[in-house]
Amino acid sequence: MPTERQAGICMHITSLPGPYGIGEIGAHAREFIDRMREMKLAVWQFLPTGPTAYGDSPYQPLSTFAGNEMLIDIGDLVERGFLTKDEAAELTTLPESHVDYGALIPIKNRLLTRAAERFKDTADDDLKAVYKRFLEEHDKKWLHDYAVFRILKTKHGERPWPEWQPEYVHRDEDALRELESAAALQLEYIKIIQCIFYHQWNALREYARQNGIRLFGDMPICIALDSADAWANREILQIDDDGHPGHVAGVPPDYFSENGQLWGNPLYAWENHEKSGYRWWIDRLRASANLADLVRIDHFRGFEAYWSVPADSDTARIGAWEPGPGDAIFDAMRDALGELPIVAEDLGVITPEVEALRDRHQIPGMHVLQFDVADDDVDLSDIEDNSVCYTGTHDNDTTIGWFRGSPDDIRTPKEIRAAQDAALKVTGGKAETIHIDMIRTAFATDSRIAIAPLQDYLGLGSEARINTPGTSRNNWRWRVLDTQLTAKLCDNVAAMVEASGRAPVS
């Protein structure tokens, strides 16, 4: 955490503008950092960056260590000669206002494989040395398993690994050796593509560092059952030899859903993590810290106790709280890594025990104004400095959408009116400027970092919401247009940041 008060923005990489159908980690990401400097914002928070699968959710990645290939900068590959402009032009036919994953993924995968072929044949000595070091650092730890997993997933029609042929489900050594021999070239292409992702990401992180921008990442507490991690390390999970869980993760009914949220992720076999000294978690946090300066751990309360739901349940209503690892996991990570660069997502059903766990390890928590302003017991002047304050998160509607209410809002009209009255009372603002008033209110708190989603800075409504929890359609698609990132916007945001005393110190 910074020692001084700072302001930031929450926007996932996929939402960046650009010509190739999805936000990428190259030129447009650097240009966004330039805009952030003009806005005097110092923290860029984004969502998990792993490769996505069904539903395109960054919170259900195919690997906790691999990078999302869809985020690779196509323009950089053209500049390096690994793709031609004519080849890349196919992506420019995709919409710029949202991500059409169904159209994007097959085109970009084909282009990335072509780029990997040319990388293998024509990369200069410097890039070949980068690739060699990348293999030395990652191949035995996770990269080879990930590449094999992707080959097998394609071989089985993208079905989850518990539905594969038995010899692959059970990782039969002879079957895997035969596959690795037959698919050696494809495996190498997958590894090259991962190297390209990390090479581009390292360049982005260095650019952010040079420009005084702190990158703020996100780590889901759970991993997907259909992931390379689960397939290669099933001893870390509560699953049987065939990959089937008896219970799965979720949360009980809350603000977002009257039936709770049934995530379906496998639960951790915490006793096995303890026996290993939490080695897998140490590696996971180290990898996340290599991508970002701060890491939000999603659903922090699961470390104190987690909601266990029978695997055959249709909702998360029926379940039980089970004890998590508690202090032991944070002690182990701190012993291995030093000061922990993490922020706790401590929203939802939070008990004194969860708060005590967070505070014992001096981990910053979160405050979300969309929740707090409607809570009669909350005094915003009591918000502690060791925290991050948001107008809303990626799971919330935009501030304007929340204030007005939307067609899929689970609140009653009476509850919406009560929230409106509370927001106007707390902010002292007007309905017409509620998004700005909420941002100013967040900036006025003592929280070390105050963040608003880009949609709130732009004053957008529910049409710009990026995710609706408990649903699987039309999420993670929103993108900003270049024309929306105007000089006037930058000046207005900079004025708010300066007025709040959160401008970076020269």
- Determine which helix (DSSP H) or strand (DSSP E) holds 217, and give its type and residue range: strand 214-219
Does residue 38 lie within any of the structural domains?
no
Distance in angstroms (rounded) separating the CA atoms of residues 345 and 388 = 10
Phi and psi (nearest 5°) for 63? -160, 140
Q: Which stretches of 139-247 are DSSP H helices?
A: 144-155, 166-169, 173-182, 184-210, 228-232
Q: How confident is the model at residue 256 (pLDDT cuts 50, 70, 90)?
A: low
Does pLDDT of 456 surpass 90? yes
pTM for this structure? 0.94
Is beta strand 261-266 parallel, antiparallel or unpaired with respect to 320-323?
unpaired
Check residue 273 and give its pLDDT: 97
- Domains of the chain: total: 1
Instruction: Note whether residue 305 is domain-resident.
Output: yes
In-domain check, residue 318:
yes
Asked, for residue 272, whether it belongs to a domain, the answer is: yes
| Of the candidates 461, 470, 464, 456, the residue with the CA atom closest to the CA atom of residue 98 | 464
Domain membership of residue 18 (yes or no) is no
* Tens of pLDDT, residues 128-172: 999 999 999 999 999 999 999 999 999 999 999 999 999 999 999
Name the nearest CA neighbour of 148 among 170, 177, 121: 177
Q: Find the domain containing 276 and state its range.
A: 233-361
pLDDT value of residue 53: 87
39 lies in a domain? no
Residue with the larger pLDDT of the pair 214 and 373: 214
Q: Is the pLDDT of residue 472 over 80?
A: no
For the annotated catalytic residues, the residue numbers are 298, 345, 395
Residue 242 lies in a domain: yes
Residue 96 domain-assigned (yes or no): no
CA distance 427 to 293: 31
